[in-house]
A and B are shown apart, each in its own frame.
Chain A
Amino acid sequence: MPAAQPQTINSAPQYTLYHPRWYRPKVSVYWWLGERHYLKFILRELSSVFVAVFVIETLMLINGLRRGPVAYAHFLHRTQNPFVVLLNVIAMFFLVFHTVTWFNLAPSATPVRLGGKRLPDFMVSAPAYVAWIVISAIICWAVLQ
């Protein structure tokens, strides 16, 4: 070891000044298009927009119900517009995608421990699926009565 150490012991190492010319790859704006997993991630993020669409539509439905039969019939008439039907079909697809992807991710974010051991992932996501199916069935039954 040389006797005289540089006094800047806490500063970042300076040797990078003299490194060979690194090539720094640039990330394309379309980084999410080329790869299946990235595309799935972007679609999952995008699905929240369609969740919002469904929330707004449900609020409009409740508002129509609140304001009486004429307003409700008017709301129903508007939802029969082919563009609204198409939007609803797309929104439904994204809503299911949103739900499935997040239910599948839930176990890794919230591991459940029983008796000192971590429960297998499906034991965490299965109750969510069961609750989803049961609640959907109850709503279907109530609506179709």
Chain B
Amino acid sequence: MAEAAKEKIVIEIARYSPETDHEPHFESYEVPVKREWVVLDALNHIKDNVDGSLTYRWSCRMGICGSCGMMVNGEPKLTCATFLSNYAKDGGKIRVEPLRYFPIVRDLVTEIGGFVQKLKKAKPWLIRITEPKLSEDRFLQTPEQLDRYKQFSMCINCTLCYAACPVVGLDPIFIGPAALALAQRYNMDSRDEGSAERTAVLAHPDGVWGCTFVGECTRVCPKHVDPAGAIQQYKIAAVFDWLKSFVTPRGRDASSSAAND
């Protein structure tokens, strides 16, 4: 490191080694504060120059892969988009921990298998009951139809919303904000016919009814997906669907479902 940065900041990192530790502990490192450096740059600096055993996930370093989510001073953040300079004022410290509520594999790496299982349960893909002919213009959408789900489609599966949601921590089988928002993303899609198939998982005590509308998922989402909004909108639609089931004979209305309004 030829160029010497004037300013330095202390960064406390949660370390956990499954071979030797019973629980995580903090280790402090001093890193230079450069104007364009983010927390991820500081971690890379430590791994390259100080302690090569520091373990964390990252990939794109431009806010789209969703790998580098960590707790920065108690807030779930994408570390590639969290600038050191914001914390360096008044001799501030940075404390980096693995994302909350997830099992910890090593240091800052969380176990996301449970999240992936939940995501699969929500069936976040296009489901078709009927296939239009190839000769037809398949799946054309108007800008209005796109606008209905576009916001929910921005999710990058970074799991920051899971680390923000106290329900996820208290009730580990709650399917969680991102999975519900992605289910709603496909429910609102004019090309999708699978909302009836998703109802069993969504309109369930561990689905939308597990949500108490804390709203933290929406606040921390780096992609402005608004999972809390998606969940509340599904709750309202599910209630109307339930009321409708009293007046509509069973089986008559198979394709309509909670979220298609």
What is the 8 Å Cβ interface bit string for chain B, positions 12-34, against chain A (1 contact, 0 not)?
00001011010110000000000
Closest Cβ of chain B: how far from A30's Cβ, in Å?
12
Complexed CA–CA distance, A131 and B16 (Å)? 55
Residues of A within 8 A of B5 (CB): none
Q: Is A67 an interface residue (CB 8 A)?
A: no
Contact between A23 and B24 (Cβ–Cβ < 8 Å)? yes
Closest Cβ of chain A: how far from B36's Cβ, in Å?
29
Q: Is B216 an interface residue (CB 8 A)?
A: yes
Complexed CA–CA distance, A35 and B214 (Å)? 12
Q: Is A93 an interface residue (CB 8 A)?
A: no
Q: Is A57 an interface residue (CB 8 A)?
A: no
Contact between B147 and A111 (Cβ–Cβ < 8 Å)? no
Contact between B214 and A41 (Cβ–Cβ < 8 Å)? yes
Contact between A22 and B104 (Cβ–Cβ < 8 Å)? yes
Q: A25-B101, A31-B166 are in contact. Are A38 and B232 (CB under 8 A)?
A: no
Contact between A111 and B105 (Cβ–Cβ < 8 Å)? no
Q: Is B141 an interface residue (CB 8 A)?
A: no
Number of A positions contacting B (CB below 8 A): 26
Complexed CA–CA distance, A25 and B111 (Å)? 12
Complexed CA–CA distance, A31 and B214 (Å)? 13
Contact between B105 and A108 (Cβ–Cβ < 8 Å)? no
Contact between A108 and B218 (Cβ–Cβ < 8 Å)? yes
Complexed CA–CA distance, A32 and B236 (Å)? 27
What is the 8 Å Cβ interface bit string for chain B, positions 167-205, against chain A (1 contact, 0 not)?
001100000000000000000000000000000000000
Contact between A20 and B232 (Cβ–Cβ < 8 Å)? no
- Chain B, interface size category, equals 35 or more
Q: Is B83 an interface residue (CB 8 A)?
A: no
Residues of A within 8 A of B214 (CB): 37-38, 41
Q: A23-B104, A31-B166, A32-B166 are in contact. Are A108 and B226 (CB under 8 A)?
A: yes
Contact between A22 and B111 (Cβ–Cβ < 8 Å)? yes
Complexed CA–CA distance, A131 and B103 (Å)? 48
Closest Cβ of chain B: how far from A119's Cβ, in Å?
12
Residues of B within 8 A of A27 (CB): 101, 166, 169-170
Which residue of chain B lies nearest to A12 when distances are taken between CB atoms in the complex? B117
Which residue of chain B lies nearest to A34 when distances are taken between CB atoms in the complex? B74
Contact between A108 and B103 (Cβ–Cβ < 8 Å)? no
Contact between B105 and A22 (Cβ–Cβ < 8 Å)? yes
Contact between A108 and B232 (Cβ–Cβ < 8 Å)? yes
Q: Is B40 an interface residue (CB 8 A)?
A: no
Contact between B166 and A38 (Cβ–Cβ < 8 Å)? yes
Complexed CA–CA distance, A22 and B98 (Å)? 12
| B interface residues with partner A (beta carbon < 8 Å) | 16, 18-19, 21, 23-24, 74, 100-101, 103-106, 111, 113, 117, 142-144, 147, 166, 169-170, 212-216, 218-219, 226, 228-229, 232-233, 235-236
A-B contact pairs, 10 of them (CB 8 A): A12-B117, A23-B16, A23-B24, A31-B166, A41-B216, A109-B229, A109-B235, A111-B229, A111-B233, A117-B147
Complex A-B, nearest 4 residue pairs according to Cβ-Cβ distance, in ascending order: A109-B232, A116-B144, A108-B229, A22-B103
Other A-B pairs beyond A20-B105, A109-B229, 13, CB < 8 Å:
A22-B18, A22-B104, A25-B100, A27-B101, A27-B169, A31-B170, A37-B214, A37-B219, A41-B216, A108-B232, A109-B236, A116-B142, A116-B147
